[in-house]
Amino acid sequence: MSTENQNNPTNSNGRVGFVSLGCPKATVDSEHILTQLRAEGYDIVPSYDTADLVVVNTCGFIDSAVEESLEAIGEALNENGKVIVTGCLGAKGDIVKETHPNVLAVTGPHAADEVMTAIHEHLPVKHDPFIDLVPPQGIRLTPKHYAYLKISEGCNHRCTFCIIPSLRGDLVSRPVNDVLLEAERLAAAGVKELLVVSQDTSAYGVDVKYKTEFYNGTPVRTRMTELCEALSQFGIWVRLHYVYPYPHVNEIIPLMAEGKILPYLDIPFQHASPKILKAMKRPASSENTLQRIKQWREICPEITIRSTFIAGFPGETEEDFEALLDFLDEAQLDRVGCFAYSDVDGAKANELDGAVPESVKQERVARFMEKQAGISAAKLKQNIGTTRSVIIDDIVADDTGEQLVARTTSDAPDIDGLVYIDVPENHHYKVGDITQVTITDTDAYDMWAKLAE
């Protein structure tokens, strides 16, 4: 045991015992993990009884190596009780969990990051504000009361107008326990609203075959529905962005109805004409989409649906565009953005025939926005007289007093509308507070309210 730890145990993030079995490649993996442990301020200790937990790096090459590894895990469990297993045996199906169901976590070889995630979960890094330059929740560019939670990188789709897959590659999902740990730290740091983001939120976990991980000893699958369910335990607002319209999106609507996550779905439909959707390589026909929206509203009447669309995609005729306007009439979406199509270097859509002249694109965007402004204004008007929960983003002063600038559950920061609430001079509100207001007035995008009685 290091003297530094004996002299001042509070300087250490914890004591880790390490058993390294197997070939030189496994040894290199062990060295990576040990280096990372020391870099993060953990002590490496030589005995089971002085360790807070034990990592066993296993070998699974031949039967005798499997046996030796399973025995080493059993010994560590008997002597210490808290064991994380990594290495080749971890990659051999469920053999470790079947023989030793009490291990804290199991990873395969070359998985230093996953091992560190498991160690962080069971032996969290202490934060010392006098020494650490980075707070436990990391450095964030958003205000203190909301935070973006990125769950994956890359995308498996090949929408013809988009070059993200060629820039960032195919989907790579973050381990769900890692995401949940970050959410836990953010909630502990005072964040009141998590904005779940990725290129394709509904595809979460496809790349890892929806692998089961462990968070606080509880199994959680790397999958959107299970992630939402798990995020709801932090008791803060959870808002989903960039949900590609897969069929299993239907599974999360009941979670919204139960109040586990916000009844808000940011789902980019992009168009409604089947011909244009096909040229874009997007899924779903508009009839199916309308049917699904109807079902979602039946299950969760308060759901807010936000979407984005592209006008002037190559080959879009006046008829296709009118199909899009008809779709808006039928779908009665709550929040909508529209962009004029423009070529992106390297996108497949550049090669398509039927480029739409710039002036026509702009005219279509204007017609689209005019149509949606009418729908939005009528929908917002239905809020007058209702009581809504709002989160306070800002407090501003003018000649007549102070005003809260807030958002309802239907409004994401920066892209949706705001609620303005006059408050008396001696009010006690702070940015990030969630309170109840009664809506008194609306326009096409914003609302005005008074504090609820």
Binding site for ligand SF4 (CB under 6 A): 155, 157-159, 162, 164-165, 199-200, 244
Q: How far is the CB of 150 from ligand SF4 (least distance, A)?
A: 13
User: Which CB atom, from 159 or from 227, has the smaller least distance to ligand SF4?
Assistant: 159
Q: What angle do CA 57, 30, 64 make, to 5 degrees?
A: 35
Contacts of 258 (CB under 8 A, 6+ apart): none
Which residues face 306 on adjacent strands?
Answer: 266, 335
Minimum separation from the CB atom of position 173 to ligand SF4 (A): 14
Name the residue nearer to ligand SF4 (CB basis): 165 or 432: 165
| Residue 332 backbone class (left: φ over 0; alpha: ψ -120 to 50; beta: rest) | left
Nearer to ligand SF4, 42 or 161 (CB): 161
Instruction: Tally Cβ neighbours within 10 Å of residue 419.
Output: 24
Of 249, 233, 258, 197, give the one whose Cα is nearest residue 412. 197
- Give dist(CA 45, CA 30) in Å, integer: 14
Instruction: Give dist(CA 247, CA 235) in Å, integer.
Output: 27
With respect to ligand SF4, which residue has the nearer C-beta, 158 or 294?
158
Q: How far is the CB of 267 from ligand SF4 (least distance, A)?
A: 11
370, 328 contact by CB (below 8 A): no
* C-beta closer to ligand SF4: residue 273 or 383: 273
Shortest separation between residue 161's beta carbon and ligand SF4, angstroms: 7
Least distance (Å) from ligand SF4 to the CB of residue 283? Answer: 10
* Token output for 249: 């999106």
User: Is residue 232 classed exposed, middle or buried when 0-12, 13-18 and 19+ CB atoms within 10 A define those classes?
Assistant: middle
Q: Which is nearer to ligand SF4, 164 or 405 (CB)?
A: 164
Q: Which residues contact 211 (CB under 8 A, 6 or more apart)?
A: 175, 176, 205, 221, 222
SS (H, E, C) 111-164: CHHHHHHHHHHHCCCCCCCCCCCCCCCCCCCCCCCEEEEECEECCCCCCCCCCH
Q: Which residue, 113 or 153, is less far from ligand SF4 as judged by CB? A: 153
Tokens 């381990």 belong to: 175
Q: Give the position of tokens 């070939």.
A: 23
Q: Is 111 exposed, middle or buried (0-12, 13-18, 19+ CB in 10 A)?
A: buried
Shortest distance in whole angstroms from residue 270 CB to ligand SF4: 8
Q: What is the 3-state secondary structure (H, E, C) of 86-101?
A: EEHHHHCCCHHHHHCC
Q: CB of 162: closest distance to ligand SF4 in angstroms?
A: 3
| Those residues with Cβ within 8 angstroms of residue 432's Cβ, 6 or more apart along the chain or in another chain | 143, 144, 145, 190, 192, 391, 392
- Looking at the Cβ atoms of 199 and 376, the one nearer to ligand SF4 is 199
Shortest distance, CB of residue 310 to ligand SF4, whole angstroms? 10
> Around Cβ 403, how many Cβ atoms within 10 Å?
16
Closer to ligand SF4 by CB, 36 or 156: give it.
156
Q: Smallest distance from the beta carbon of 205 to ligand SF4, in angstroms? A: 16
Tokens of 359: 């002036």
Shortest Å, Cβ 347 to ligand SF4: 9
Whichever of 198 and 410 has its CB closer to ligand SF4, that residue is 198
16 versus 280: smaller Cβ distance to ligand SF4: 280
Q: Least Å distance between CB 158 and ligand SF4?
A: 6
Provide φ and ψ at 187, rounded to 5°.
-60, -40
